[in-house]
Amino acid sequence: MGMVKFYKGGDMPLELHKVRVVQKLHLVPVERRLDAMKEAGFNTFRLGTKDVYLDMLTDSGTNAMSDNQLAAMMHADDAYAGSQSFERLQKAVEDVLGKKYLLPVHQGRAAENVICRTFVKPGNVIPMNYHFTTVLAHVTENGGKIEELLHDHAFQLKSDHPFKGNMDIDKLEKCIQENGVENIPFIRMEASTNLIGGQPFSLANLMDVRRIADKYGIMLVLDASLIGENAYLIKQREENWKENSMGEILKMMTGLADLVYFSARKLSSSRGGGICTNQKALYAKMEAMIPLYEGFLTYGGISVREIEAMAVGLRETLDESMICQSPSYIKYLVEELEKRGIPMVTPPGVLGAHVNAMEFCKHIPQEEYPAGALAAAFYICSGIRGMERGTMSSVRDEEGKEILADVELLRLAVPRRVFTLSQINYVIDRMTWLWDNRHLIGGLKFTYEPPVLRFFMGGLEPTSDWPSKLMDKFRKDFGDSL
């Protein structure tokens, strides 16, 4: 679903929606793009959208909302406490995710804050399939540390393994035995692993993790922010579940977890987030954190209009024709770039297409942030904003030395139902030009480096005058064309 065979042209994604509201975009000249990159400190996070043509930074809060979500926002109950809008969201969470008790929060990292403040103590270890930047920061802030337990093949960026987000069960057993059950408050699984290319885990693997959790009496926590796409790829790739509906797969996944949290900015094409469980004792441990950090228990720092949109968006997650839109576009983009020799993370995952910057810019040392440099170079030649997922997104050790990332990726996020096929083809064209001129890209170095989550706000500068040379080559090849 979502991919259609064309008479002459192979498989291509087909939009399963029509466009009824449009928003103007800006494609500014290459000279302005270079100036904008300088003003942003060569950090795509700091670009203003007036200078961005296609915003492929993230899918967080940028998915298109449906007509039904927008309509639902009009009958929101804006009571501070006891809102009927919250009751509708709570019912949607129970129906879709199978959890009775819900704590609303303003977004996913707020859920991480509440969970880590409640359960993580100094000296604790949190096993996970792979970390996300904000969860790493919250675990560390509360005195814990993480153990990443992916299989070794997960870091083979070009492969055909369908579930590179799987947790290595042998590594999990070893982690528990070495650290002691008493030092492990929970095991965390992320659907799907953001930082290694949006790679999903299988339902069979989640069952194995649950078995180990039960064996040692450890809580299992599921980050369900991209659970819809993970469930879709389970249905596509895991033989045992091909005949099951999206709703059945989602309920099986969440049913294996003691605690489920999510960012609605990803999960339901709206804003906000939540923590949910069927265990009243777990709910009670976190309940007091919501009025302290988020808002009252029936709004959690979220607009009630967004709460209504969340409720509808959760139910729309069960619609395969909606959830397939992003994965099918990502698949098309990855496969077309691969045909042109561009090194991509395969198989195509969720969230976005991921370019292997370590291979694309293999002449740039990791200490000079090749993925960040590639993101800057791609913006200059295209006006497209992607996101660095590599050493810039990592941290330094206690002595100030870089902790080099396992992978260096440029992520080109593909939000649901936002881009047209002609825009995706423009991405392919400009990335092909940059691949042919990759020798012109140079490194970056920090000029301003915040101590936490530096990739959001940090400023950098090029290690040479490579951006001007890249612009000159672009002008030579394209003339006055944007």
Catalytic residue, from 44, 58, 133, 391: name it. 133
Active site residue 455: yes
Q: How many CB atoms lie within 10 A of CB 470?
A: 23
- Residue 446 β-bridge partners: 460
- Spatial separation of the C-alpha atoms in residues 80 and 62, rounded to whole Å: 27
Check 55, 59, 168, 223 and give the catalytic one: 223
> CA 106 from chain center: how many Å?
17
- Looking at 42, 101, 119, 132, which residue is catalytic? 132
Burial class (CB in 10 A: 0-12, 13-18, 19+), 284: exposed
Helix axes 304-316 and 84-97, enclosed angle (nearest 10): 20
Q: What residues contact residue 50 under an 8 Å CB cut-off, 6+ apart?
A: 26, 28
Instruction: Check if 132 is active-site.
Output: yes
45 in catalytic set: no
Closest among 231, 246, 301 to 272, alpha carbons compared: 301
- Annotated catalytic residue within 42, 186, 379, 455: 455
For helices 84-97 and 246-255, what crossing angle results, to 10°? 90
Active site residue 160: no
329 is a catalytic site residue: no
Vertex 52, ends 389 and 467: CA angle to 5°? 65
Catalytic residue among 385, 389, 411, 454: 389
- In this structure, what are the phi and psi dihedrals at residue 454, rounded to the nearest 5 degrees? -65, -25
Active-site residue, selected from the candidate residues 33, 235, 266, 331? 266
Of these residues, 80, 155, 448, 456, which one is catalytic?
Answer: 80
By annotation, the residues acting in catalysis are 80, 132-133, 223, 266, 389, 455
